[in-house]
Amino acid sequence: MATAFPFSAIVGQDEMKLALLIAAVDPKVGGVLAFGDRGSGKSTAVRALAALLPKMKVVAGCRYNCDPDRPVEFCDDCRGRAAKGALKSAQVPVPVVDLPLGATEDRVVGALDLERALARGEKAFEPGLLARAHRGFLYIDEANLLEDHLVDLLLDVAASGENVVEREGLSIRHPARFVLVGTGNPEEGELRPQLLDRFGLSVEVRTPNDLPSRIEVVRRRDGFESDAAAFTATWAREETKLRKKITSARERLPSVNVPDSALERATRLCMALGTDGLRGELTLMRGARALAALEGKSSVSDEHLRGVAPSALRHRLRRNPLDDAGSSVRVDRAIAEIFG
Amino acid sequence: MTAALAWSDAVTAAQLFALDPIGSGGVLVRSRAGPARERWMAMLRAALPPSGPLKHVPLHISDGRLLGGLDLHATLLAGRPVAERGLLAEADGGVLILAMAERLSSATTVHITAALDARETIVERDGISLRVPARFGVIALDEGLEDEFAPGSLGDRLGFHIDLNEVSIREADEFATDQPAISEARERLSALRTDAEQVEAMCTAAAALGIVSLRAPILALRVACASAALSRHDAVEHDDIALAARLVLAPRALVFSQQQEPAPLEPPQEMPPSEGDDNADKDNPDIERPLDEVILAAVQAALPPDVLAALRASSARSRGRSQGKAGALQKSNKRGRPAGVSRGELRAGGKLNVIETLRAAAPWQPLRRREAAASGEPSRPRILIRKDDFRLSRFKQRTETTTVFVVDASGSAALHRLAEAKGAVELLLADCYIRRDQVALIAFRGNAAELLLPPTRSLARAKRCLAGLPGGGGTPLAAGLDAAFALSDSIRRKGQTPTIVVLTDGRANIARDGAQGRPRAEEDAINAARQLRMADITTVLVDTSPRPGPSGGALAREMGARYLPLPHADATTLSKAVLASMG
């Protein structure tokens, strides 16, 4: 796609935008799932994020986007080269890699490079999408329709942060840590619970139903379609501002303080909701901290917990599949009880 | 709307689509195959630019052909991987035609809608990684009967929805298409814009018509531009907006109030009359009205109230019912779960995995070439493939199970046990959810059986259906079993495994033909039960009568079913017992 719709020009959808920004500030929150109505701008937001993100530093020429400042996490190539001499680094855009439905396994994990093998008889590894997405985002549109064997693969890699390839006589392992971003429409099927669990934040997206925002959405879309370059230019300033916000939030993140009282509240909230495991608390804490960093605060407060709790917890409730009352309602109720 | 009007709208839609196939998204043509549709298609072809490609997508197209992948012939010839463009990429700059869109598999739908959104396709297959432009308009031919519809996600992206089912060939007058005029109009299109007032009015009208998706007003605005270009207007005028609303918004309308009172999604909001013409006279419906009212009037002209009622009913039914479901079900069977690749011989039924075979052969090429050269074989192929290179795809067939619940909602059952049966079915549903089975629900009462819920995975819907199930009336057991048999048959034809759970007290008193009388009814029920046994369908019969008698057991024997007399069980025990016997 030539030009992406500017992130800051997306009308409404605050929860989704916030979740994506939080993931951009702290990739450790573990992915964003956006489920909702057709035509509500889910894919637009993800693609817009790609254009928004600040560039990142990589080892020049590395096929796995290794970070020159973290030699511990180097791939085998970089390790070999680092032993011989200093590595050059380069600035590249953060990868936002599409995992299209219908992708085959060899392209996802990587496989023997067929061209070199056939033409020259060489055994070389051709990295797949997981390698390309390392330190960036892996985006699955219509995640609920992804074929099961690819889901299994993703689950394995997302859990270990490493892609292990054993095929065609190749034996390769390389780092593959990425933020999983999935979108989908619940009418077309549910997401496998195991995959659901992998997403740190889950947001529900609805088409705005108040007239002024609907008009604004259409107007901006219309403006973008008629002249993408001019439209993007008018939003360039907003985009730069937002980009700066992400950069400074990333710098601030390690120093943001999480007081004991906030930890206690987070735990109480998770207990009240009966979420499984500790992942809910962890995501809640990380998300709140990233939110505090985004807002330029030095310490996590109740407001931040409140802001993140619905997206961090709604997909972790032990679900009664027959309960019509949405999980969001239950989370809201629990928040109201605990935060008063 | 009369047939003549429907036809003239269809003709206009064809011209506007031909003018801007990519911008308007496409046309969803709801019509059975017939001469009227043929004539419409011929007219459309005549209107389209002759240079653009026109590609037909067969119903069961493989992902490889649709998206592109490895070109086997060229690869073998060249001795290096050569990519093949898929149908989506080949349609770039032209039109994609989908026959039998109502049967489109969900995988195919997703690929097409993704290309419509991004205007390109992303190929990550068979060692090939490509991004190719794919800008095209779609003609979706929806031949569905009453409750089969083209996938909603596709229809949402196509600007025009036309219905030719009521149009006979006699009413379908031929229109001469002026191809040069359309080409000329296409040139003018890029200069045309809609203004802020028009955007606002279109959004207001869409909201008033209960259209949730924002793609509808966006598409309508583009169609308005196309209409202005075709009518040689210098700017987009009220007429163009009204026409676009009629063609794009009207077929999607869900609500329409009799008066001009808007019935939007939100609390009614008075549109501020634009630019001070606030004394718009309601009695004078011509020029002075606010634009959104002009639009609503245009839409209303296209839709008399009875059509609207039917529309509403059909869309309420269509919500997730059989939209493209036929395909979704097949998907997992056709492919099963790929369970890797194995070395093997090519026998009938084996599926050669070309790419893996090539990969297996690749390392040996220099060696084999030398060998072949040494033995002086003439005219050797570029790639030497031996028998042990063959790699076959293996699939793990994980057939899906669909559990059909047949619930006795008759008076005799309802009084005692209907609530408990409902509770048990709910618990079983939850279990089916965990195993990702599909469930279907048939209820019988009065003098007929009714399919309340066609096979689905949506538990929320299943639960709603169950909760709304009324009780009372006779016990047409035979009809219930017949319905279950018919449904199981269709489930099997889709390659899935049906399991039937019957909850009844076994006291049949309505025969197959609806006549009352216990002996005939029981005989019919026994016959229906035998049918199930003959078809060898896994069946569980839960006898819910307060004093289980021998009749239930006999019925179960005839059915080949496991018999579970559960006179006093509560929902939990019931569901546990059924689960155990279903294995």
Q: Is A228 on the interface with B (CB under 8 A)?
A: no
Residue A289 pLDDT greater than 90, yes or no: yes
- Average pLDDT of the residues in A290-294: 94
**CA-to-CA distance for B279 and A107, rounded, in angstroms?**
65
User: Do B523 and B473 belong to one domain?
Assistant: yes
Q: A102 and B111 in contact by Cβ < 8 A?
A: yes
Q: B79 and A119 in contact by Cβ < 8 A?
A: yes
Q: Is B357 on the interface with A (CB under 8 A)?
A: no
Domain with CATH 3.40.50.300 in chain A: 15-55+93-205
User: Do B392 and B409 belong to one domain?
Assistant: no
SS3 for B320? coil
CATH number, position B431: 3.40.50.410
Domain with CATH 1.10.8.80 in chain A: 254-339
More confident residue, B339 or A181: A181
> B448 has which bridge partners?
B445
Quickly name the fold that domain A15-55+93-205 has.
Rossmann fold (3.40.50)
Domain contains B330: no
Give the model confidence (pLDDT) of A300-312 as tens digits.
Answer: 998 999 899 888 8
User: Does an H or E element contain B233, and which?
Assistant: none
Nearest to A126 among B127, B213, B358 (CB): B127
Nearest to A211 among B194, B203, B218 (CB): B203
**CA-to-CA distance for A43 and A39, rounded, in angstroms?**
9
Task: Give me the number of domains chain B comprises.
Answer: 4
Domain contains B472: yes
Residues of B in contact with A112 (CB under 8 A): 359, 362
Q: Is B340 on the interface with A (CB under 8 A)?
A: no
Determine the pLDDT at residue B288: 53
**CA-to-CA distance for B66 and B390, rounded, in angstroms?**
25
Domain contains B45: yes
Q: Is A318 on the interface with B (CB under 8 A)?
A: no
Residues of B in contact with A43 (CB under 8 A): 117-118
> A138 has which bridge partners?
A97, A180
Domain contains B430: yes
User: Do B418 and B563 belong to one domain?
Assistant: yes
**CA-to-CA distance for A118 and B75, rounded, in angstroms?**
10
- For B271, which residue in chain A has the nearest alpha carbon? A211
CB contact burial B446-479 (16+ within 10 A = b; e otherwise) = bbebbebbbbbbbbebbbebbeebebebbbbbbb
**How far, in Å, are A120, B545, B562, B564 from residue B567 at the CA level?**
76, 6, 16, 9
Q: B203 and A218 in contact by Cβ < 8 A?
A: yes
- Ramachandran class of B355: left when φ > 0, alpha when ψ lies in -120 to 50, beta otherwise: alpha
Domain contains B342: yes
Give the model confidence (pLDDT) of B449-497 as tens digits.
Answer: 888 878 877 666 677 777 777 777 788 888 889 899 888 888 887 777 8
> B408 has which bridge partners?
B444
- For B322, which residue in chain A has the nearest alpha carbon? A188
Calculate the dihedral angle through the C-alpha atoms of A183, A184, A186, A189, rounding to the nearest 10 degrees: -120
Instruction: Record the tokens describing residue B583, joined without a space.
Output: 């294995």
Nearest to A38 among B80, B213, B337 (CB): B213
Give the model confidence (pLDDT) of A243-274 as tens digits.
Answer: 999 999 999 999 999 999 988 888 888 888 87
Q: A118 and B81 in contact by Cβ < 8 A?
A: yes
User: Do B299 and B191 belong to one domain?
Assistant: yes
pTM: 0.70
> B29 has which bridge partners?
B141, B162
CATH superfamily of this structure's domain A254-339 = Magnesium chelatase subunit I, C-Terminal domain (1.10.8.80)
Domain contains B6: yes
**CA-to-CA distance for B108 and B110, rounded, in angstroms?**
5
Query: Between residues 157 and 196 of chain A, which touch chain B (CB distance below 8 Å)?
Result: 168-169, 185, 187-190, 192
User: Do B109 and B209 belong to one domain?
Assistant: no
User: Do B216 and B114 belong to one domain?
Assistant: no
- For A185, which residue in chain B has the nearest alpha carbon? B153
Among B139, B173, B207, the domain boundary falls at: B173
Q: A218 and B328 in contact by Cβ < 8 A?
A: no
User: Do B470 and B350 belong to one domain?
Assistant: no
User: Do B45 and B141 belong to one domain?
Assistant: yes
Give the model confidence (pLDDT) of A150-170 as tens digits.
Answer: 888 888 888 788 888 887 778
**CA-to-CA distance for B90 and B66, rounded, in angstroms?**
9
Among B352, B367, B396, the domain boundary falls at: B396
- Average pLDDT of the residues in A128-142: 90
In this structure, how many other beta carbons lie within 10 angstroms of the beta carbon of residue B292?
Answer: 26
* Catalytic site residue from A279, A286, A289, A306: A279
Nearest to A322 among B66, B79, B429 (CB): B429
Domain contains B464: yes
At B380, is the pLDDT very low, low, confident or very high (cuts 50, 70, 90)? Answer: low
Instruction: Record the tokens describing residue B543, joined without a space.
Output: 């006898």
CA distance A131 to chain B (A): 13
At A19, is the pLDDT very low, low, confident or very high (cuts 50, 70, 90)? Answer: very high
User: Do B113 and B194 belong to one domain?
Assistant: no
User: Do B437 and B528 belong to one domain?
Assistant: yes
Domain contains B547: yes
Q: Which amino acid is at A57?
A: K
Angle at B467 between CA B466 and CA B469, to 5 degrees: 65
More confident residue, B341 or B511: B511
As separate numbers, helices (DSSP H) first and strands (DSSP E) second, chain B gives 22, 18
Q: Which amino acid is at B372?
A: A
In this structure, how many other beta carbons lie within 10 angstroms of the beta carbon of residue B150?
Answer: 27
CATH number, position B191: 1.10.8
User: Do B428 and B466 belong to one domain?
Assistant: yes
ipTM: 0.78
Q: B129 and A114 in contact by Cβ < 8 A?
A: no
Alpha-carbon torsion B204, B209, B211, B217, what sign?
negative
* Closest to B425 in 3D by CA, of B305, B571, B555, B548: B571
**How far, in Å, are B46, B181, B235 from residue B225 at the CA level?**
21, 16, 8
Mark whether A318 is an active-site residue.
no
Specify burial of residue A84 (Cβ count, 10 A radius: 0-12, 13-18, 19+). exposed
- Average pLDDT of the residues in A268-288: 85
- Average pLDDT of the residues in A169-193: 82
**CA-to-CA distance for B50 and B297, rounded, in angstroms?**
37
Residues of A in contact with B221 (CB under 8 A): 218, 222
Q: Is B43 on the interface with A (CB under 8 A)?
A: no
> B136 has which bridge partners?
B94
Identify the domain containing residue B388 by its residue range: 336-396
> A281 has which bridge partners?
none
User: Do B386 and B409 belong to one domain?
Assistant: no
**CA-to-CA distance for B196 and B198, rounded, in angstroms?**
5
Q: Is A271 on the interface with B (CB under 8 A)?
A: no
In this structure, how many other beta carbons lie within 10 angstroms of the beta carbon of residue B242?
Answer: 22
